[in-house]
């Protein structure tokens, strides 16, 4: 009877323990001599999913052993040195090109200066000859227009005024000489046209060209 009561109490205790939904660890009641003690087994509840198994230590699919992360994390000193060397070579090449271009520009500038100087020299050599020819033609026309009734050979050539080439500093002395010559001359300078033509015949260069243009436009003379 006493054994039956013990069995009933044990059954009741076992039924109460089966209603618990938590985690329970069950140990084997009997241990075999010569073996290691039994490991506890974990019983999961109905709402808890099983945990995933841990990856092996040398698994290539794990994020810590991915090739991209290893390449990004590692620094290659040889690659950095190559890049620096390439950049330095490009910079040196650009400097050499800039220096060559500046030398070429300087040479072109010097050539342009020489050409301008030569052109100016040639113009100075050519223009005086053309001006002398024009002056001769204009003087002939002015002398023909200013031919007085009495020839100029009657007066002494030393009394004639000096030729006026258009220099502003010599304008006043030239006009004074012309006025003095007309006052002392035996020719008749009472008419304005005769006086203007005489003064024009004593001009050369720029002054002669200016006077001829004035005479062509002056209809009152």
- Do 206 and 164 meet the contact criterion of CB atoms below 8 Å apart? no
In this prediction the pTM is 0.29
Predicted local distance difference test score (pLDDT) of residue 195: 83
State the pLDDT at residue 57.
Answer: 64
Q: What is the pLDDT of residue 28?
A: 44
Q: Residue 60: what pLDDT? A: 53
Which residues, in sequence order, are bridge partners of residue 42? 25
Pick out the chain residues at pLDDT < 50.
17-31, 143-153
HEC per residue, 160-217: CCCCECCCHHHHHHHHHHHHHHHHHCCCCCCCHHHHHHHHHHCECHHHHHHHHHHHHH
**Which pLDDT value is given to residue 135?**
56
């Amino acid at each position: 009877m006493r054994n039956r009561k013990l069995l009933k109490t044990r059954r009741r205790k076992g039924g109460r323990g089966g209603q618990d939904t938590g985690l329970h660890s069950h140990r084997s009641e009997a241990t075999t001599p010569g073996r290691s003690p039994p490991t506890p087994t974990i019983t999961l509840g109905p709402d808890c999913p099983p945990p995933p198994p841990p990856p092996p230590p040398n698994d290539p699919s794990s994020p810590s052993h991915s090739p991209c992360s290893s390449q990004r994390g590692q620094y290659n000193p040889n690659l950095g040195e190559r890049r620096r060397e390439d950049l330095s070579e490009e910079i040196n090449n650009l400097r050499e090109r800039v220096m060559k271009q500046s030398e070429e520009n300087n040479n072109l500038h010097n050539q342009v200066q020489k050409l301008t100087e030569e052109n100016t020299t040639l113009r100075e050599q050519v223009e005086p000859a053309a001006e002398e020819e024009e002056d001769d033609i204009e003087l002939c026309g002015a002398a023909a227009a200013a031919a007085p009734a009495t020839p100029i050979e009657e007066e002494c050539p030393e009394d004639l005024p000096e030729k006026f080439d258009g220099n502003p500093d010599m304008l006043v002395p030239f006009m004074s000489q012309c006025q003095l010559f007309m006052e002392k001359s035996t020719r008749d300078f009472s008419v304005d046209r005769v006086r203007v033509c005489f003064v024009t015949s004593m001009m050369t260069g720029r002054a002669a060209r200016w006077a001829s243009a004035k005479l062509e436009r002056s209809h009152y003379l």
